[in-house]
Amino acid sequence: MDFKVGIIAMPGAALSNKTGSFANEVPVFMHKTCTGCNLCIYFCPEGVVYGDKKTKIYDFDSDYCKGCGICAEECPVDDIKMVLVEK
pLDDT in tens, the chain (87 residues): 555 555 566 666 656 677 777 789 999 999 999 999 999 999 999 899 999 999 999 999 999 999 999 999 999 999 999 999 886
Residue 26 lies inside a defined structural domain of this protein: yes
**What was the pLDDT predicted at 78?**
97
**What was the pLDDT predicted at 3?**
53
Residue 71 lies inside a defined structural domain of this protein: yes
Structural domain of residue 54, as residue ranges? 19-84
In 3D space, the residue among 45, 5, 41 whose CA is nearest the CA of residue 22 turns out to be 45
CATH label of the domain that carries residue 29: 3.30.70.20
Residue 64 lies inside a defined structural domain of this protein: yes
**What was the pLDDT predicted at 86?**
83
Alpha helices by DSSP H, the chain: 39-43, 70-74
Count of the separate structural domains present in the chain: 1
